[in-house]
Homo-oligomer: A and B are copies of this chain.
């Protein structure tokens, strides 16, 4: 390892002023919160039902929209086609999902929950909802509505800002 007690070089000294206070930085906070929530809820799905989050999302969507194709579910679940393909594959193998041919397009498959798939959904749903309820336990209804609004607005802005970072990246080459 490095010099035991070298002189402190001038250029290694820091001015505190130019730093950014990470714990207050919104992108960091969002990532951290989402990570914490994701981890605990993912644990729930996987331990109890051997489901990943993508799989769970697909099951949840098919619960209310049976017969959708992978292509249609993808955007709703924010999953790209590779994740879709893999998740569906696992679900089919686990007997939770059934593929049926679509006559209009032989590349696509209409997806349906099997009995076992419905079962999983039935059993997870109350847990997922209890988790969500607890997360919002000490929020008032007005606060929940406000949070909802904030998230919608941030979401829209984030999409919009992809453009901003894109532009900067162009400049950077």
How many residues of chain A get a CB closer than 8 Å to chain B's CBs?
102
Is A104 an interface residue, CB under 8 A from the partner?
A: no
Interchain CA distance A109-B162 in the complex, whole Å: 37
CB pair A18–B161 under 8 Å, yes or no, is: no
A122 at the interface (CB under 8 A from B): yes
Residues of chain A in range 55-105 having any CB-CB distance to chain B below 8 Å:
57, 60-66, 76-78, 98-101, 103
Contacts A132-B27, A136-B26, A162-B36: A5 and B150 contacting too (C-beta < 8 A)?
no
Chain B residues with Cβ under 8 A from A147's Cβ?
Answer: 150
Determine which of B5, B22, B35 lies in contact with A77 in the assembled complex, contact meaning CB atoms within 8 Å: B22
Nearest chain B CB to A110 CB, angstrom units: 9
Binding site for B on A (CB under 8 A): 1-8, 11-14, 16-23, 25-41, 43-44, 47-48, 53, 57, 60-66, 76-78, 98-101, 103, 109, 112-115, 118, 121-122, 125, 127-129, 131-139, 141, 143-148, 150-151, 153-155, 157-159, 161-162, 164-166, 168-169, 172
The 5 closest A-B pairs by CB, nearest first: A19-B63, A19-B64, A34-B34, A11-B115, A47-B169
Given A19-B65, A44-B169, A139-B150, 7 extra CB contacts under 8 A: A5-B136, A6-B132, A11-B118, A18-B118, A21-B64, A32-B78, A48-B168
